[in-house]
Amino acid sequence: MSDLQNTQDDVKAENRIFPPPAEFAAKAAISGMDAYHALCKEAEQDYEGFWGRLAKENLTWHKPFESVLNESNVPFYRWFEDGLLNASYNCLDVNLQNGNAEKVALIFEADDGTVTKVTYRELHAKVCQFANGLKSLGIVKGDRVVIYMPMSVEGVVAMQACARIGATHSVVFGGFSAKSLQERIVDVGAVAVITADEQVRGGKHLPLKSIVDEAIAMGDCEKVRNVVIYRRTGGQIGFTAGRDLWMHELVANQAADCEPEWVDAEHPLFILYTSGSTGKPKGVQHSTGGYLLWAKLTMKWTFDIKPDDVFWCTADIGWVTGHSYIAYGPLAMGATEIVFEGVPTYPNAGRFWSMIEKHKATIFYTAPTAIRSLIKASDADPAVHPLKYDISSLRLLGSVGEPINPEAWMWYHRNVGQERCPIVDTFWQTETGGHMMTPLPGATPLVPGSCTLPLPGIMAAIVDETGNDLPNGQGGILVVKRPWPSMIRTIWGDPERFKKSYFPEEFGGKLYLAGDGAIRNKDTAYFTITGRIDDVLNVSGHRMGTMEIESALVANPLVAEAAVVGKPDDTTGEAICAFVVLKGARPTGDEAKKIATELRNWVAKEIGPIAKPKEIRFGDNLPKTRSGKIMRRLLRVLAKGEAITQDVSTLENPAILEQLKQAQ
């Protein structure tokens, strides 16, 4: 196994400790472990008092709240429910009032390197004009708007404009297929879609608007009255008169001021779809007040953001990381942030480092998968090694989305952090709204591969199958014992699924189940995430349900049956491996290759290119118990290329294992 592989045993045995640099700690928002423990204690002693204080201090309320937490309808918790506020007001107007008007909010770098800077005053005006434009289309508070856009100033503007008028946005990642987009448009009941003509990534123009057209043409999208198009490339697009409008024309005559729509703290700011263990993605619904509080506070606590920082989160606005740490958190803090349109490997794999040098980025937040691929790239071509660039502006690094293996951590520490930047390994989820467990850079001694400890106020624990606490050193199920302000409120349109997925009765209905396994170190009590305990895969930090991919495969007319499992991968963390039974004879040789390619492209069409299986193996059947249940456990072993040592006596057809082992 290569040393880039994720090996959880290595993480558990990891004993290197990196205390926070004294100079960093001296200036940090939370300086030293005593300060951390004091906040934890405050939360333990007076939970509501703690959150109430933070919500008052950090957000600007149009009408202050009296009620901090309403627990009368568990698990449908309500935070700050009688308070009124507006997220866009908190991100923009507040900055105009407190002296940040001329400060650069966004440094946008396009795929080709063109840079556009937008001040808070300019961003405010753009958001207000677009908000007025949306209002002119009849979009009102409570309406849902789908955003299918590239990384752009306009993407952030679109999200903020929805927030300004109280419309709930649902951003769909620009890599999703027409079918995935259509499902989301239908499920959320969107009245409008905001998109671009095309997106530009790695020098290539990729369609967006034509995919929207295709999605709407699939049917059931009657509620969509308008499609608003940002002109990014000027590429050819179809135009449906009466429905389609150009963004620049819509805003042309709009006032640069728009009174915000004051909403309850519980008003849904956004719905973001993510994968679960069934075939149907879940619309994770987030609130306005609690969500924004945590997006802002974690910028302070985890990223220790200061007025002169240049913050760069490399995520896409289509994922939750791009919501909390691009569209909302940094702006709520009045920070300057980089928004990047392109990919880390174009025009070469030194792109991140050259951008850090150019913009003097001070805080850099990316995913382990990107780090691992850049390690490989700089091994292959020393010219793109980070230390070939002047990245001395960096003072803090972050990691998100998947476990970071200690080897990648050490490389990041030495070569990007120059052995002086703390690394915050932030564990969280679409459902949690913001960081849950992470080191605090001026307080927590770091251990490679561990997300260390919960943030103050986050009551994380590890329990067994019956919900009882497990001692440190024993792996189990990660739960959160108390509600927290930025938690998921419900699954859009499916409150029963919300309850069952996250607050199952087996655990008493009050423990939040993250869906991950974890273990705490015996000595430090630090947490290490051991991976998902459900049928969810994490490929390059992208979350995908095995069932979704299976449903896509069996929708192909050639396919009789399919089972999808994850297998460890050097670069992407996990890779998708599909075992497929065709309706016709089992293909071999070139025919197998041809059909595998066909099926991979099919999945790209059904879900999106990120869901393409890396490997497809064909069999006459799948390993099943006598009752017909597919033994995925065995498929996982086969996918890894390991020998099966488990008892297979309950299998209906043990001979199939040999066939699937060889069918590569």
Instruction: Report the interface residues with ligand PRX, using CB under 6 A.
Output: 274, 320-321, 400-403, 425-430, 451, 514-516, 529, 532, 538, 543
* C-beta atoms surrounding 26 within 10 Å: 11
Residue closest to 34 by CA, chosen among 383, 456, 355: 456
Nearer to ligand PRX, 322 or 350 (CB): 322
Nearer to ligand PRX, 385 or 532 (CB): 532
Contact 265, 166 (CB under 8 A): no
Identify the DSSP state of 281. Answer: P
Q: Are strands 527-532 and 336-340 parallel, antiparallel or unpaired?
A: unpaired
Nearer to ligand PRX, 287 or 298 (CB): 298
* 532 annotated among ligand-binding-site residues: yes
CA distance 413 to 415: 6
Nearest-approach distance from CB 516 to ligand PRX, in angstroms? 5
Residue closest to 421 by CA, chosen among 499, 463, 365, 465: 365
Nearest-approach distance from CB 80 to ligand PRX, in angstroms? 23
CA distances from 109 to 115, 179, 394, 494, 646 (A): 5, 30, 18, 39, 52
* 401 annotated among ligand-binding-site residues: yes
Nearer to ligand PRX, 180 or 254 (CB): 180
Instruction: Give the three-class secondary structure for 182.
Output: helix
Per the structure block, which two tokens stand in for 267? 């008003």
Nearest-approach distance from CB 399 to ligand PRX, in angstroms? 6
Nearest-approach distance from CB 561 to ligand PRX, in angstroms? 27
* 204 annotated among ligand-binding-site residues: yes
* 524 annotated among ligand-binding-site residues: no
* 409 annotated among ligand-binding-site residues: no
CA distance 7 to 20: 25
Per the structure block, which two tokens stand in for 476? 């189990």
Nearer to ligand PRX, 520 or 624 (CB): 520
* 543 annotated among ligand-binding-site residues: yes
* 166 annotated among ligand-binding-site residues: no
Nearest-approach distance from CB 167 to ligand PRX, in angstroms? 23
* 207 annotated among ligand-binding-site residues: no
Per the structure block, which two tokens stand in for 51? 């959150």
Nearest-approach distance from CB 272 to ligand PRX, in angstroms? 9
* 402 annotated among ligand-binding-site residues: yes
Buried b (16+ CB within 10 A) or exposed e, 264-297: bbbbbbbbbbbbbbeebbbbbbbbbbbbbbbbbb
Nearer to ligand PRX, 245 or 400 (CB): 400
Nearest-approach distance from CB 322 to ligand PRX, in angstroms? 9
Nearer to ligand PRX, 150 or 515 (CB): 515
- Give the N- to C-terminal CA distance of the chain in Å, as an integer: 19
* 427 annotated among ligand-binding-site residues: yes
Nearer to ligand PRX, 285 or 430 (CB): 430
Nearest-approach distance from CB 392 to ligand PRX, in angstroms? 26
Residue closest to 342 by CA, chosen among 177, 199, 234: 199
* 103 annotated among ligand-binding-site residues: no
Residue closest to 76 by CA, chosen among 616, 606, 489, 633: 489
The number of CA neighbours under 13 Å toward the Cβ of 237 is 30
Binding residues for Mg(2+) are 554, 559
Binding residues for CoA are 201-204, 321, 540
Binding residues are 201-204, 321, 401-403, 425-430, 516, 532, 540, 543, 554, 559
